[in-house]
Structures are given as C-alpha cells and as structure tokens.
C-alpha cells in the first residue's frame, strides 16, 4: 500500500500518522493504533485523525491534519501546535 507517513517524537512517545490516496488513514502512538479514518481528503486542510496522549498526569490532544492536491500531505499537532509534517 503506497501512501505518505508523518512521524514525530513527543516527550518520549512515538507518534506516526499514515494516509493513502484511497483515503485510508491511521494514527499510532507508541505502536498502538489510536484512530483510523476513511474520510475523503480534500484540497483544504482538514482534521482526519485524533487521539489523546497521557504523559506525567497530563492529557495532550493529538490531531492529524491532511490536505491533498498533487499528493497527500500530513501534519501532526499537539494541543493545536504543529510538531511534525508540512505546513498546510
């Protein structure tokens, strides 16, 4: 399956988002699948995946945004701040 992957390290946690042209997307935190989606990716930035990450008694919001034009582009954000991927 060909697609695009975006990887980040946040406070010792591995975060990986993967999406394909066939609109399948997955979000992994520490190798555990936290969210999946089959929603269509458009030419405008859209949140396609979300999960919570617990670290030292704090809960962080993990969101993955996607945009597609000639290729799929991904962005990972923690509490609204980009930590990996392309500027969309």
Q: What is the pTM of this model?
A: 0.91
What would the pLDDT profile of 32-83 be if each residue is shown by its tens digit? Answer: 999 999 987 788 899 999 999 999 999 999 999 999 878 889 999 999 999 9
How many distinct structural domains can be found in the chain?
1
E runs forming strands in 1-88: 3-10, 13-20, 25-29, 32-37, 46-55, 58-68, 72-78, 81-85
Q: Which residue has the tokens 């060909």?
A: 2
- Planar angle of CA 74, 76, 81, nearest 5 degrees: 130
Domain range holding 55? 3-85
State how far the Cα of 5 lies from the Cα of 57, in Å rounded to an integer: 29
């Amino acid at each position: 399956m060909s697609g695009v992957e975006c990887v980040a390290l946040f406070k010792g946690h591995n975060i990986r988002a993967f999406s394909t042209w066939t609109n399948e997307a997955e979000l992994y935190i520490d190798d555990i699948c936290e969210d999946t989606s089959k929603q269509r990716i458009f030419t405008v930035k859209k949140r396609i995946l979300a999960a919570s990450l617990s670290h030292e008694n704090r809960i962080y919001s993990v969101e993955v945004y996607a945009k597609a034009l000639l290729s799929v582009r991904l962005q990972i954000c923690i509490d609204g701040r980009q930590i990996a991927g392309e500027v969309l």
